[in-house]
């Protein structure tokens, strides 16, 4: 019975509506990305480090830009914004391959 009450309380605390009330501004949620987490996150395409730039995580190689939605980094290659001059992910890989193959 105590487990059920604890689970119910945790569910209420972390419900989407409750979380939205705590941090209504998306910029606040973006800025709460922990520096320790940022230090271990890597670009899934290049393996490069990521830095926070507004509402995006930007790879130090390329640069590919990954969105941060509701404080959660979306590190899917198909969600990344490509730099100018790259029409698709394959074009990006061929253009920047020499930079990220060295680092892997």
Q: Are residues 13 and 54 in the same domain?
A: no
Mean per-residue pLDDT for 53-78? 89
- Residues 60-72 have pLDDT tens digits of 887 899 998 888 8
pLDDT of residue 76: 94
pLDDT greater than 50 at residue 86 = yes
- Domain limits at 79? 33-103
| Burial status of residue 50 (CB atoms within 10 A of its CB: 0-12, 13-18, 19 or more) | buried
Q: Are residues 54 and 3 in the same domain?
A: no
- Residues 12-28 have pLDDT tens digits of 656 665 555 555 555 54
Domain count for the chain: 2
Q: Are residues 13 and 47 in the same domain?
A: no
């Amino acid at each position: 019975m105590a487990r059920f009450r604890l689970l119910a309380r945790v569910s209420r605390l972390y419900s989407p509506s409750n979380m939205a009330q705590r941090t209504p501004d998306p910029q606040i949620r973006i800025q709460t990305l922990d520096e320790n987490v940022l230090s271990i996150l890597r670009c899934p395409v290049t393996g490069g480090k990521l830095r926070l730039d507004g509402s995006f995580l930007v790879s130090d190689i390329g640069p590919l830009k990954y969105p941060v939605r509701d404080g959660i980094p979306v590190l899917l290659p198909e969600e990344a914004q490509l730099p100018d001059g790259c029409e698709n992910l394959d074009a990006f890989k061929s253009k920047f391959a020499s930079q990220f193959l060295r680092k892997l």
